Structure 1
Amino acid sequence: MFVKLGATLIDTDVVAREVVARGEPGLAVVSAEFGPGVLLPSGELNRPALRSLVFADDAKRRQLEAILHPLIRSRTRAKLAELEAPYALVAVPLLIETNFGELVDRILVVDCPEPLQLERLMRRDAIPKLEALAILRAQADRATRLKAAHDVIDNSGTTEATRRQVELTHRRYLDLAARRARQL
């Protein structure tokens, strides 16, 4: 919704896919650490296999994060440096847990009740409940995310209600960016 209003979005899930694309050094490190079972015959990352492996074992998940997070942070920082937009949104699923907050001025949490979050994750990724619960357990809980937030959008209601909140937040961010530009 922000992008439709002209905002720039850097999605770290997309960046994470980029850093482990075929031919990228990140893929070589991941396959060396976790074995050939995390690769498809094409040489691409077998995401479901890796996800099953790391969300079943906290040590392996932390090992993967130690490999990927510096690569993701570096590439995200480079993308931010290239921007000429008034502001950018950086979507970071593990913002609180990974200290990616250092890259941003404000933290916006898009919130919904945990049962709805679980349902949406299962539907979006077509994964079973236990796997979705493991993914959510690896993230900061709702109370922690809300405590860290400067701004919150409640997306548990209608699309129209969410759209109105996005429009208000977008205008606020444009105003904040304009004030910041005047200070420079």
Structure 2
Amino acid sequence: MLRIGLTGGIGSGKSTVARLLVDRGAHLVDADELAREVVAPGTPGLAAVAETFGERVVGADGGLDRPALAAVVFADPGARARLDGIVHPLVRRRAAEVIARLPSDAVVVQDIPLLVETGQAGSFDLVLVVEADAATRLARLAARGMSEDDARARIASQATDAQRRAVADVVLDNSGTEDDLAAQVDRFWAERVEPARS
């Protein structure tokens, strides 16, 4: 099994790279998707979040009120650390369960936005970092409906490009077109993935 940690800042294009890798035969384990799963209604994760932050973060439908929780944790590093302390161990446990069911020769891509921040770089055979310049990232986040102030705050709360590069085996530049990015993914697959599988 070849385990690839995929990371990059918000708006850098991790999801596009993940899709391109899946198109080439990789199995994707998406940390954001698992993070939603472990705090779904009725889960111990949601109960722990509600106990820590109060019922104000639970919506009328019984699910997590993400905007209400974001308003709390992005303004308070201590609150964010408490949330991470609940969610990250649950996500790691769930990821391990998913990976255990994959074929022993699988190429596993774990899309982990906070890979650097959570100190997980050493857990992978390869760390793949996606970068894009700040203007491109801000434009992508605006297209998703995020205000510029919110986008800048999210970017500032994450690791820097330099911190990500320090743990990267390969860096992909996603400031250009998707065709440019696909060509870089092809090169990564040919030069790093295929040799590791042979």
- Provide the TM-score with structure 1 as the length reference: 0.90
Matched with 1:142 is 161
Question: Shift of the alpha carbon at 1:135?
Answer: 1.7
After TM superposition, list the pairs within 5 Å mapping 1:64-103 onto structure 2: 64-84=83-103, 85-103=105-123
Matched with 1:16 is 35
| Consecutive aligned runs of 4 or more in structure 1 exceeding 3 Å deviation | none
> CA 1:173 to 1:88, structure 2 compared with 1: closer, same or farther past 3 Å?
farther
Q: Deviations over 1:134-158 (max 9, x none)?
A: 2222211011111210011111111
Cα distance in 2 between the residues matched to 1:118 and 1:153: 18
Equivalent residue letter for 2:22? V
Cα distance in 1 between the residues matched to 2:36 and 2:122: 22
Equivalent residue letter for 1:114? A
Cα distance in 2 between the residues matched to 1:103 and 1:22: 30
Equivalent residue letter for 2:155? L
- Provide the TM-score with structure 2 as the length reference: 0.84
Q: Is this contact kept in 2: 1:29–1:67, CA < 8 A?
A: yes
Structure 1: runs of 5+ lacking an equivalent:
180-184
How large is the RMSD of aligned CA atoms in angstroms? Answer: 1.5
Cα distance in 2 between the residues matched to 1:101 and 1:52: 29
Higher helix share: 1
Matched with 1:153 is 172
Q: Is this contact kept in 2: 1:13–1:92, CA < 8 A?
A: yes
Q: Is this contact kept in 1: 2:25–2:107, CA < 8 A?
A: no
SS of the residue corresponding to residue 63 of structure 1 reads helix
Question: Shift of the alpha carbon at 1:3?
Answer: 1.2
Question: Shift of the alpha carbon at 1:173?
Answer: 4.2
Partner residue of 2:124 out of 104, 112, 124? 104
Q: Is this contact kept in 2: 1:26–1:67, CA < 8 A?
A: yes
Cα distance in 2 between the residues matched to 1:166 and 1:47: 33
Cα distance in 1 between the residues matched to 2:92 and 2:106: 21
Higher strand share: 2
Question: Shift of the alpha carbon at 1:103?
Answer: 3.1
